[in-house]
Each structure stands twice: as structure tokens, then as C-alpha cells.
Chains A and B, each alone.
Chain A
Amino acid sequence: MLFNSIDFAIFLPIVFVLYWFITSRNLKLQNLLLLVSSYIFYGWWDWRFLSVIVFSSFVDYLIGIKLQETENQKKRQRLLWTSIIVNVGFLGFFKYSNFFIDNFVTAFSLLGQDISQDNLNIILPVGISFYTFQTMSYTIDVYRKQLEPTKDIVAFFTYVAFFPQLVAGPIERARNLLPQFYLKRKFNYANATNGLRQMLWGLFKKIVIADNLSNYVELIYDNTSDVSSFNLILGLILFSIQIYADFSGYSDIAIGTARLFGFEFKINFRYPLFARSIGERWRNWHISLSTWFRDYIYIPMGGSRGDKWTKFKNLMILFTISGFWHGANWTFILWGVFNGLFFAPSMLLGNNRKYLEPIDTNKIFPSLKEAYLILQTFLLIAFTYIFFRAKNITHSYEYFLGILNNYNIPLYPSRLLNVYRIRSYDIALMMIFLIIMFSFEWFNRDKNHGLYFKENHKYPILRWSIYLFLIVIITLWPGKTENFIYFQF
């Protein structure tokens, strides 16, 4: 089920009413309702793959209990590795089989041996990269004795499958989310309204910004030889905004939905488009994944301890894995490598922890220096999207060559705009909506989301007008319905 679908618009109020009016007196029943709802939510896409979630949940639930029962270190390690092998095994099979087969065949053909091998027809279960990481974090934390294992099977299964974050995160740590299933939830008006606002803001970013931008991005990426250098650069900029609006929009809807049910997720995006350095950008982008990698891969490898070479090596491994997590394609690996290379100088010079706070919120505009740093960071990251959005390495190479060579092609691609049915009015409106998105996010840059209002906001009519305006724009101006980009990961 997609957040931006009518199905979800019907599903959510039904679950909400059942949750707060029918099951609210019994915590176990309430959790069970969430579990059943989450499985319905997931099964709406494909029932068959529910078995993967159930199996993965069951393995980690059992391993958690077994880990508590034994102090034998070797046995504990075996249990941990069982969990990792099962979860990474699922991920490897569903997500990476074809990638490894293809590369295996290519490697042999380079050595002069032709192996004929058809790709396996494997469907990637939606959300598998997210929930396997979530359930693994539980087992690792129990293994490290940072978390008591749970015996409440319903709470644990619901923690793994909780529908707001099941298919594209945020990847919630058991330490944060699981205890919330043990406590009786009370409806909190301020939290719920804040959640609704955040959902509305997420829908606006997804439906109006990301889905409309996707048409422009498609035009440019699919016609690299027919558009000018300027437009190719513009394509990178637009894709940077699209992917941000798409994914942070999803996170906003997820976090907002959870608030409606009395749950609090960790923030997943902290206005990364306003970052002044690559370090700040990565601290504020897909935070739940970055911190997962940090805690379970980077720090165990040694992190930023050791000599400069070790630091560099660890960083590059981290970013390469991060790239590979996004997809089974060399383009993602290269994307990760370039991000690592851009990040490395600040880490080696020891200033990657600069800019821990947002730009002074009393300022209406950033200073010239800040504006320059924001633009520089934005463009550097945008450059890496040559690889991220390209179909394959050849495509990204063509894109790059196009930027260098297509300066003679007219700036205004009238024919293509016609083919993609983009009219001058669409461009004008798109610009207005981008200004709206950036303005709201800029002025709320120290808050949890772009549509944050204080509880006792002075101008309720203005606030309600904004809600209504956004709802009308979402209804009136949706882009072509696209899956959330991160569903494919």
C-alpha cells in the first residue's frame, strides 16, 4: 500500500478508529491490531513476501531469547552469526543474486570463457533492505547486552513490521521503538496534530514536488545527447531535489503516521539541502541508515581511530557499502565511492564535525559565506547523482560527456518539452511550489519538519489557510503517480 494512495487514505482512519476506540483498553490487543494492520498494509503489495518478514522476525525473536539464556561467548557468537546470515542471506538472495551472476559471467567472458546464464527471475520484496537492518540491529544490541531481549512476541513482530516505517524506514532501533510497544499509549492532541501536519508536509513534498519533478528529470536523463550542458547540470540539481522531496516526504509521512498512534520515531532528515559541508550533509541525510552503518559497521572497524590511511580506508569501505546497500548496480557503488572521496578531506583534516547546529534561526537569509558553502555542498552532492540516477555506468559516462560537450545545443529544449507535455505554465508553477517548499523548510530549519507550528500559534486562520492550500494543491497538482524512489532499495 502506498502512502500516496486512496487505499491508504481509507486504511489509516479505519485503523486509527479501531486503535483508539475499540482496542485502547488492552495493550496486547492494541499491539495485535497494529501487527495485523501492518501485515495487511504489506500484503496489499504481495502477500507471498509476508513469509520473509515473518521468518526473519521469528529467527531474531528466538535468537534474542537464546542470547539471554547463555553466557557462553562462542555460542553467543554463533547465534549472532545465524541472525546475520539469515538476514543478509535474504537480502543477498533477493537483491544481489542477479548482480553477482552477471558479474561472474562478465568476468569469465573477459577471461575468454563464455558461460551462458540466464538471470533468475527474482522479485525484490519491498522494504527488505529496511526491515532486515532493523531486526538485525535488535539481535546485535542484545548480543552486546545493550538491550534486554523481549519475550513479547506480538510486540517484537510489530516492531519489525510496524506499517509506518516498514517499507522505506526510518530504520528504527529496537532500543528506541521496542519499549514503546510495552507502554500504554495515551492519545496526545498536540502530538497527533503535529503528526498530521508532518504527514501533510510529506504528502506535499512527495506528490507535488517529487512526482512533478520526476518528469523533468526523466526528460533530461533519458535524452542526454539531445539536451545542452546547462540542462544536464540542471538535471542533476532537479534530481537532487526530487530524491530529497521523495524520501524525506516518505519519512515525514511515516513519522507523522506513527505520532497519530502515539509513537515517536527518530528524525530521519534534518534539512540536508541546507548543509554547509559534506560532513553536515551526511549527518542530516537518511540519519537512521547513516547511524546504523556508523554503529554496526564503521565503529566496529575502528571508525576514525588510527592513522590517516586507516581512517581513509574505513571511510571508503563505509561509503562503498552504503552505495551497495542502495542497489545491486555498479552505479550505486561509484556513487558511494565519490561521496566517500568528497567526505574524506574534511575527515582527514579533522573538521568533519563542524556545523553541528543549523544556521542561526534568527537570520532571515544566510550570510554570503553560508550561501556559498550551501551551494558548493549541494553541487558536489548533485554531481554524484550522475551515477545514482543513471541506468548503468555507460549511461553515467554519456551524461558526464554530455556536460562537457553539449554546449552547442540550444538551451530551451522545445521539442522535448512538447514530447513530455511540459508547458511554460507547468514550469512557472513548479518554480512557485519549489519556492514554497524551500521557504517553509528554511524557516523551520531547527524544527522536526517543514510545517511545524507552535502549539499556541497566534494566527489559527493563517495556519488553517496553509493546511487548506496544501491540501488543495496536492489534490489539484499531483505529478504522475510514482512509487517512492527508496522502495526499490
Chain B
Amino acid sequence: MHKFLIKSIILFGIFLGVNFLYLQVLKETDWSLSKVNRIMQFKNQDYDYIFLGASLTLDGIDAEYLTEKGIKAYNFGTQGTSIRSSYIQLEHYLKNNDNPEVVILGLGSLSKSYKDYKNEFEIALSYKHFYFENEWNFENLPLVKFRGSAIENFKQIVSKNHREAEFVRGQLRIKKKVVDKTNYKDKLDSIIHISDYKGASHLFKIDSICKLRGIKFILMEMPGFKKTQNLIPVGPHKLSDEKHDTLTLYNLNNKELVSKIIDSKNDWLGNSHLNQYGAKKLTEYLYNNILKHKNF
């Protein structure tokens, strides 16, 4: 019996050890975890512009380009993140670093036809892990909590494009090219009322901490595949409700704009996500038409 118990405990111990090891490996190799981990440890950074958001931002904003143009920028975008997560991340960053001049949050569609605009996303797991205290329970075992990361790392092993991907100033640069085969929906569209947008409360929270520190906060609808593009002008648009101050939104998913700057055959890496070539073109447009003039 003792032998059995001892061996069972050893096996359990090894299993816990594997969990610990898995987490350490992920912290180094997993795109989301390693990035959130790195950002969390930032101290006394003095970026002028920081870009928040999910994978659309992560892939689609070339912070190096802006830095070369004299704007010290960093891309904070993280896969699968939510506005709430971005808020947590920004709050933490501002506690330990210098105030940036501008915070830009890249969003999915804010147009009425977009069916998912009412979704409220949970705090991303990688954020939960680093920004909150973790309880000791089964669901918090790294092998359980970061199951999805195993797939992403598996992708990195089997796909050449993913293996060769690199982080440059927070941007995940992937060379993979996917043709946008979707069709335009071509209907007149309008921006949803901000109070209908479920992430709105956290948008206003970000806005208020920015205002307190004299930081300019801008929203940006990121470009997507043809099926998501809209006919709303680029803007700037002013969004507000009765209780809050006005938010500024630029619509970079305007059909005319996207067809002008993005090549539908060479600039996408997957569903509505820009590859490194598309990201550079978008950032170039952003710099020349919006950021350079600081007319927001």
C-alpha cells in the first residue's frame, strides 16, 4: 500500500511539475502569454503612442514604422483580448510608466450590420493570469487554463509562416498571404449608438483615466475582409451618451479606403487580419493622414 501511495504521489507531483514547466515554456514561446508577461514588467517606459486591442491590432499596426517616423510607439494588441482586458492592461501600465501622449484602441466593427457588436468579452486568460491573483484549483492548472495555447504553439511548430513570425515593437509580423474571397455587402450602414455597445462602459473607463492624465484617447475601427467593410466615412466621428464625455472614432474599415490601401490578394493573413505587408500600408496611411497632423 505504501509503495502504491508513494508512487501515486510521485506521479501527481510530476504532473504538477509538468504544469509548472508548461507555464514557463508558454511564458517564453506563446505569443499572448509572453507578450502580456513582457508588457506587465514594463517599468519607466516613455512611449508616445500606445496601441491597445485584440488580434486585429496585434497583427495590423506596425509600431516600428511609426517609431522610424519619430513617434515612439508600441503595439499592446493581444490575441483574444477584450476592451475590459485592455482597460486592465492600460491601468497597470500607467502605474509603472510615463504617460503616453496618445492611446489608440483598435476595435472590430462598430457598425450596425455587424452582428457581434453586443458581445461582451470576458477578461482574456493571459490577463487574468498575470494581473490577478490565481486561486489554487483545477481550472487554474496551466495545462487546463492554457489549453488553447497548446494549439497555437502546435501551429508554430507545423506552419513555416508561424515559425518565422516575429514580434517587432509588439506587432506580430506574419508573412502568410490569404486572398480575401468574401463579397461586399454594399448596404448603407451607420455607427451603432455607443450605449448599445456592450463594451462601452470600459471604453468610457479608459477615456476617463486618459483624461485624468491628459492623454488623448482615440478609437479606431480596424479594416476587415470585404464582407465586413462599410460605407461610413472615415471620420473622425464623435460618440457620446448622456452620462459620458465624447469619444473619437476613426473608421478605417471604410470600403473605399480599404480598397485603396489594402491589396485583397497580398495583404491579409486570415479572416480580417492583416499580414505584415498590409499592416505597414495601414500604418503608413494612419501616419500620413491622421497621426502626423495630430488633428484628432
Contact = CB atoms under 8 A, between A and B. Distances in A.
B261 interface: no
Nearest to B15: A471
B147 A192 contact: no
Contacts of B290: none
A425 B3 contact: no
Interface of B: 1, 3-4, 7-8, 11, 14-15, 18, 138, 141, 143-144, 147, 150-151, 154-155, 158
A467 B11 contact: yes
A291 interface: no
Nearest to A193: B4
Interface string A458-474: 00000010011001100
Contact of B147 (A187, A471, A477): A477
A258 B8 CA distance: 17
Contacts of B1: 20, 187, 189
A425 B151 CA distance: 8
Contact of B143 (A193, A423, A467, A472): A472
B158 A428 contact: yes
Contact of A475 (B4, B11, B141, B155): B141
**Main secondary structure on chain B at its contact with chain A?**
helix
Contact of A425 (B11, B14, B147, B155): B155
A193 B1 CA distance: 11
Interface in A310-367: none
B158 A475 contact: no
Interface residues of A, number: 22
B4 A425 contact: no
Interface in A406-448: 423, 425-426, 428-429
A425 B4 CA distance: 38
Nearest to A20: B1
Contacts of A467: 11
14 contacts: A9-B138, A189-B3, A189-B4, A192-B4, A423-B151, A425-B158, A426-B151, A429-B154, A468-B11, A468-B14, A468-B18, A471-B11, A476-B143, A478-B147
Interface in A175-193: 187, 189, 192-193
Contacts of B155: 425
A123 interface: no
A127 to B, nearest CB: 26
A20 B1 CA distance: 9
A199 B1 CA distance: 18
A368 interface: no
A111 interface: no
Given A192-B4, A476-B147, 16 more contacts: A9-B138, A20-B1, A189-B1, A193-B4, A193-B7, A196-B8, A425-B154, A425-B158, A429-B154, A464-B11, A468-B14, A468-B15, A475-B141, A475-B144, A476-B143, A476-B150
Interface of A: 6, 9, 20, 187, 189, 192-193, 196, 423, 425-426, 428-429, 464, 467-468, 471-472, 475-478
Contacts of A9: 138
Contact of B4 (A187, A423, A476, A478): A187
B138 A6 contact: yes
Contacts of A472: 15, 18, 143
Residue of A425, A426, A467 contacting most chain B CB atoms (<10 Å): A425
A36 to B, nearest CB: 22
A428 to B, nearest CB: 7
Contacts of A426: 151
Nearest to B139: A6
Contacts of B138: 6, 9
Contacts of A476: 143, 147, 150
Nearest to B3: A189
A190 to B, nearest CB: 10
A196 B143 CA distance: 21
A189 B4 CA distance: 6
A423 B159 CA distance: 13
Contacts of B8: 196
A471 B22 CA distance: 14
A9 B14 CA distance: 17
Contacts of A478: 147
Contacts of B150: 476-477
A273 B241 CA distance: 64
Contacts of B154: 425, 429
B17 to A, nearest CB: 10
A472 B21 CA distance: 12
B16 to A, nearest CB: 11
Nearest to A191: B4
B112 to A, nearest CB: 24
Contacts of B151: 423, 425-426
B220 to A, nearest CB: 27
Nearest to A429: B154
Contacts of B147: 475-478
Nearest to B146: A476
A472 B18 CA distance: 8
B270 to A, nearest CB: 11
Contacts of A429: 154
A426 B147 CA distance: 13
A350 to B, nearest CB: 49
Contacts of B143: 472, 475-476
A233 to B, nearest CB: 28
A467 B143 CA distance: 16
A432 to B, nearest CB: 10
A476 B143 CA distance: 6
A12 to B, nearest CB: 11
Nearest to A6: B138
Residue of B141, B143, B155 contacting most chain A CB atoms (<10 Å): B143
A137 B155 CA distance: 54
A479 B144 CA distance: 13
Nearest to B149: A476
B138 to A, nearest CB: 5
A196 B5 CA distance: 12
Nearest to B143: A475
